[in-house]
Amino acid sequence: MHLVIQALILGSLTGGVYALMASGQTLIFGIMKVINLAQGAFVIVASYFTFSLFQMTGLDPFLLIVITTPIMFILGAATQWFLLRPLRPDDAAELSLLVTFAVALGLEGALSIVYKTTLRSIMPGYENHSWTIWGYQVNEVRFYAFLLSIAMLVILYVLLQKTKFGRSVRATVQNPMAAQLLGVNSKAVSAFGFGLGVSTTAAAGAVFGLITPFNPGSHYDLISRLLTIVVLGGMGAIGGSVIAALMMGVGAALVSALASPIWADFTFFIVLLLVLLLRPRGLFGAKVRGAL
Amino acid sequence: MSKAGIIRAVAFFGILGLLPLGVKPQWVINLLIFTLMYATLASSWNLIGGYAGYPSLGHAAFFGFGAYFIGIIFENNVGNGYNPFLILPLVGLCAGLISIPIGYIAMKTRKDVFAIVTITLLFMVQTLAYNLRAVTGGAQGKGVAVPPFAPATFGRPFYYVMLILLLTAMGISFYFRRSKIGLSLAAVRADEDKAHGVGIQVTAVKIIAFAISVGIAAMVGGVWGYYEGFIYPQFAVDPLITIGMVLMTFLGGRATLWGPVLGAFILVPAQQYFSYEFGATQFYLLAYAAIFLIIMLVLPRGILPTLTDRIRLKAKIAAEAAK
């Protein structure tokens, strides 16, 4: 029982981090119907940025997010503007997924030239501290990361629900053509939305670098997890992806604790197949024709 | 088949069939084996990714499955050296059967989801290859017995088996273009809902195409594992193999008979040349990604369809001028 509760704690904290990565991916899917296979690679890029900035300045990794977020935003928006926007409309659906895959490999290649393939960790000195509450270990970094994820998700929510930009994004999600007719600049919204979705990887990357050693190939571990979460939550549903991330975080932690960490990845694949078989639109996905 | 088509095929396979008898250097044969390997992989990927328009990112999982299949059976003894080749149809059959339930679930909804499931499958199989140490040898790799072929012509049997696999893949590809199944797939690619509406068995044709496609990929993987003699998880189940076959198909022209082969004959020698000249494998990834992005942005339909269109257009202009 102790083991199970400990796994629950660890799993929900990890799930919070996944929620941050997945919410960005879901946002991108919602706006452009593009599955961003490079989301994991962007997380790793952000981890390296945080790593380098931390080594140069010695500032706390959590503070560095203020610097890395705009950088990741620009990277994301540039990806959309230069690589996805020019695709011809009749090819776009088929090619955009492959473009993001190529971007992921390109980022991995660039990182392995600059940083080589040795495993790195961001070590501000408190990365292994944890509190003991009633005999349960609560890792400090993961706890802060969890709080950070919630804060970022709240910001994202406010941005989407309460601002003019958010309204144009939501309009584009619902009906791009109608949104454009009503004066929404859907090209700009797409680039902005992609940038916004990628910018969530800044915080996620900092945290990922704190809790796990990483190298340029680490994004492969993230791709399948993020995709499973996005499908489970319902593609395009940001709230759904947060809940799905927590569920998968807990699920993987339970499997790791009770069986073996090897089977944690397997769990993701089985869940993915089961969701597609039993409830293809995911837990909270809208039943829209042409969507899932 | 048109007369020109027959001549083209006979010339292509005739030259490739005679080549090892005239060309002696090992490195040329080695290069040709890898070129044929990718030509076959790209042709098989084209069956589902090109004709049906369902972009599989998980073919490397089946490639690795084939490699381990051969590696596990023939760990210690290969007899006269030809036994692993005789097992290949069984490897393909097993891979095809495994792919049916996966394909059924993955192709139920939409093309993006198919890509998601197949790429997840790829990484899961890679994790399994690392962790089922008792069967795969884990990160230490798995050795395959060395066949008793004469050193001077060691590569020759592998070469000819790859050539036969390419002939098979292209034969199926050619059959697809002319038969009901190929037309059904073209309809699926153009508009799946309408195809379903006019009574095409969309699920069945998609699953058949996927199963045949990954079956061939698994057989190629089997030959590759045997030829390499040592199977490591990171090379057997490698995203680069997946992206390689996708890239070559796109470069040459997807949903064409010769496009994937053309793509492989351009890219594999180029890749070998660059790795010889520059060494560092990190540049591989970057170069692959860059070429891929350029193709998709500049030449999204690939070389062959673009060329045929040009030629047709020129002929039309000439005909107009003649009037």
**Number of C-alpha atoms within 13 angstroms, CB side, residue A252?**
24
Query: Residue B301 — very low, low, confident or very high, per pLDDT cuts 50/70/90?
Result: confident
> At residue B202, does pLDDT exceed 80?
yes
Question: Which residues on A lie below 8 Å from B124 (Cβ)?
Answer: 224, 265-266, 268-269
In a domain, B9, yes or no: no
Judged by phi (left if over 0) then psi (alpha if -120 to 50, else beta), residue B53 lies in left
Question: Which residues on A lie below 8 Å from B284 (Cβ)?
Answer: 109
Does A88 sit within 8 Å of B300, measured CB to CB? yes
Question: Which residues on B lie below 8 Å from A37 (Cβ)?
Answer: 115, 119
Q: ipTM value, please give it.
A: 0.85
Q: What is the mean pLDDT of residues A274-290?
A: 71
Query: Residue B2 — very low, low, confident or very high, per pLDDT cuts 50/70/90?
Result: confident
Provide φ and ψ at B256, rounded to 5°.
-120, 165
Provide the pLDDT for residue B3: 84
Torsion angle defined by CA atoms of residues A40, A42, A43 and A45, in that order, rounded to the nearest 10 degrees: 130
In a domain, B15, yes or no: no
SS3 string, A100-145, reads HHHHHHHHHHHHHHHHCCCCECCCCCCCCCEEEECCEEEEHHHHHH
Query: Residue B278 — very low, low, confident or very high, per pLDDT cuts 50/70/90?
Result: low
Please indicate if any CB of chain B lies within 8 Å of the CB of A59: no
Q: What is the mean pLDDT of residues B24-29?
A: 86
Characterize the bridge pairing of strands B142-143 and A136-139: unpaired
Nearest CB among B109, B115, B117 relative to A97 is that of: B115
Residue B259: which of B192, B158, B190, B174 has the closest Cα? B174
Buried b (16+ CB within 10 A) or exposed e, A262-276: ebbbbbbbebbbebb
Q: What is the C-alpha to C-alpha distance for residues A117 and A275, in angstroms, rounded to an integer?
A: 35
Quote the tokens at residue B210: 């996927």
In a domain, B256, yes or no: yes
Count of all residues that appear for chain B in the document: 323
In a domain, A94, yes or no: yes
The tens digit of pLDDT for each residue in A57-97 reads: 888 888 898 999 999 999 999 999 999 888 877 777 778 88
Domain total in chain A = 1
Q: What is the mean pLDDT of residues A18-29?
A: 88
Provide the pLDDT for residue B98: 95
What is the dihedral sign for C-alpha A107, A113, A117, A118?
A: negative
Quote the tokens at residue B126: 């890679």
Q: What is the mean pLDDT of residues A283-292?
A: 54
Provide the pLDDT for residue A179: 82
Whose structure tokens read 């503007």? Answer: A81
Give A290 or A203, the one with higher predicted confidence. A203
Please indicate if any CB of chain A lies within 8 Å of the CB of B295: no
Residue type, A182: L
Provide the pLDDT for residue A134: 78
In angstroms, the separation between the Cα of residue B222 and the nearest Cα of chain A is 24
Please indicate if any CB of chain A lies within 8 Å of the CB of B28: no
Q: What is the C-alpha to C-alpha distance for residues A182 and B175, in angstroms, rounded to an integer?
A: 50
Q: What is the mean pLDDT of residues B49-78?
A: 91
- Angle among Cα B226, B228, B230 to the nearest 5 degrees reads 90
> At residue A287, does pLDDT exceed 70?
no
Q: Structural domain of residue A13, as residue ranges?
A: 2-217
In angstroms, the separation between the Cα of residue B109 and the nearest Cα of chain A is 6
Q: What is the mean pLDDT of residues B112-117?
A: 87
Provide the pLDDT for residue A289: 40
Provide the pLDDT for residue B35: 95
Q: Which of B135-139, B146-150, B260-264, B283-287 has the highest mean predicted lDDT (pLDDT)?
A: B260-264
Q: Helices in chain A by DSSP H: which ranges?
A: 2-32, 39-57, 61-79, 89-115, 140-162, 164-174, 176-181, 186-211, 219-233, 238-258, 262-278
In a domain, B36, yes or no: yes
Query: Residue B109 — very low, low, confident or very high, per pLDDT cuts 50/70/90?
Result: confident
Does A262 sit within 8 Å of B282, measured CB to CB? no
SS3 A37: coil
In a domain, A128, yes or no: yes
Provide the pLDDT for residue B96: 95
In a domain, B18, yes or no: no
Q: Structural domain of residue B76, as residue ranges?
A: 23-322
Does A268 sit within 8 Å of B284, measured CB to CB? no
Provide the pLDDT for residue A260: 79
Under DSSP, the state recorded for B143 is: E
In a domain, A106, yes or no: yes
Buried b (16+ CB within 10 A) or exposed e, A56-76: eeeeebbebbeebbebbbebb
Give A235 or B50, the one with higher predicted confidence. B50
> At residue B266, does pLDDT exceed 80?
yes
Does B239 sit within 8 Å of A109, measured CB to CB? no
Provide the pLDDT for residue A290: 39
In a domain, A260, yes or no: no
Nearest CB among B102, B127, B296 relative to A265 is that of: B127
The tens digit of pLDDT for each residue in B212-260 reads: 999 999 999 999 999 998 999 988 898 889 989 999 999 999 889 999 9
Average pLDDT taken over every residue of chain B: 89
Instruction: Please state, for a pLDDT cut of 70, what percent of chain B lies above it.
Output: 98
> At residue B294, does pLDDT exceed 60?
yes
Residue type, B306: T
Domain total in chain B = 1
Average pLDDT taken over every residue of chain A: 85
Please indicate if any CB of chain A lies within 8 Å of the CB of B112: yes
Residue type, A218: S
In a domain, B252, yes or no: yes
SS3 B290: helix
Provide the pLDDT for residue A30: 80
In a domain, B159, yes or no: yes
> At residue B69, does pLDDT exceed 90?
yes
Nearest CB among B108, B112, B285 relative to A108 is that of: B285
A-to-B residue pairs, Cβ atoms closer than 8 angstroms: 121
The tens digit of pLDDT for each residue in A130-172 reads: 777 777 777 788 888 888 888 888 888 888 888 888 888 888 7
